[in-house]
Amino acid sequence: MSMRQYSFVGALVTLLCCVNLRGVLAGISTHNSLRSSRDGANAETYSVPALGFPYEALEGAFVGSQTMHLHHDKHHATYVMMLNKALASAGMHDPPKDVAKLVARLDQIPVAQRTLIRNHGGGHMNHGLFWRWLTPGGPPEPRAEGHLHKAISDNFGSFEAFQSAFEAAAASQFGSGWCWLVRDPRDGGLRVCSTANQDNPVMDIDIGDCHGTPILGLDVWEHAYYLDHFNVRPQYIKAFWKVVNWDEAEKLLLAAEKEPLPHSAAGRMPLMPVAVAAVLAILLGFVA
């Protein structure tokens, strides 16, 4: 190799080392920031938010008081209790206030607690959103002059086409999971997709092809509807449209446009530019 070729290879190795080091340092600093400076403290980190309406308010339209009590006071409360316990055993006494920021960086959670925090952190995030998406006597669709109405029409062709896609995804989710309307961070478009168990589209792990910021979501676990709709999931899905809080969905879309996904903003290695730079450096080095 000529001196010029050596210098190109040297520059390339330096570039790759710096990028890798940056990734490692980012990982360590995030991990430390998630861990507590108050090791040994036993604070109640996350808590179940109160419902914005009485437990019986959706009776007849969606699900009744008994389902809401069990779902909110038992299921959601268990996710929160298990999440707090997992965080304590991971030594993470001061996690992000917003649970979305916690589950968007599962790669920073100690391996021993990662599955617990994925399941129960996801459960807490999903249900916290779900209660916000429900309201007694919600309007049948988003406000015609609003941003969400236009975004849905632009992405799906019509509000009815979006509803059909959402209903089909919710009905065909095999087993327990959630159906979502998400804002895809790659192009800002809206998509319908579903995830299994308590996974959430913000998670930075392999959850299938469903990534983005949740704008609307429906819990299709049997615990969400069985007392009211038995095994007839499609009836529960149709009933959802009678109680959707479209103003909350609109707020989430506006917020997602202002602030990108936590994990997309979290200093990941820009793999494509690095790969292109590496190939160019090698080619230039050997051609010269």
Chain contacts with Mn ion (rule: CB under 5 A): 219, 221, 224
Q: Which is nearer to Mn ion, 48 or 148 (CB)?
A: 48
Q: How far is the CB of 71 from Mn ion (least distance, A)?
A: 6
User: What order of strands is seen across the sheet that includes strand 190-196?
Assistant: 190-196, 177-183, 213-219
Structure-token match 């429906």, residue found: 218
Q: How far is the CB of 126 from Mn ion (least distance, A)?
A: 7
Structure-token match 């800002």, residue found: 188
Structure-token match 């992000």, residue found: 96
Q: Which is nearer to Mn ion, 8 or 180 (CB)?
A: 180
Determine the Cα–Cα distance for residues 122 and 210; give it in Å rounded to an integer.
14
DSSP labels, 89-153: HTT-SS--SSHHHHHTTGGGS-HHHHHHHHHHHHHHHHHHHHHHTB-TT--SSS-TTSHHHHHHH
Tell me the residue nearest to Mn ion as measured from the CB.
219
Q: Which is nearer to Mn ion, 133 or 221 (CB)?
A: 221
Q: How far is the CB of 261 from Mn ion (least distance, A)?
A: 23
- Nearest C-alpha neighbor of 126 from the set 205, 227, 229, 201: 201
Q: Which is nearer to Mn ion, 113 or 126 (CB)?
A: 126
Q: At what angle do helices 77-89 and 111-132 cross, to 10 degrees?
A: 150
Determine the Cα–Cα distance for residues 179 and 171; give it in Å rounded to an integer.
9
- Which amino acid, 233? R
Q: How far is the CB of 224 from Mn ion (least distance, A)?
A: 5
Q: How far is the CB of 127 from Mn ion (least distance, A)?
A: 6
Q: Which is nearer to Mn ion, 157 or 234 (CB)?
A: 234
Q: Which is nearer to Mn ion, 94 or 222 (CB)?
A: 222
Q: How far is the CB of 221 from Mn ion (least distance, A)?
A: 5
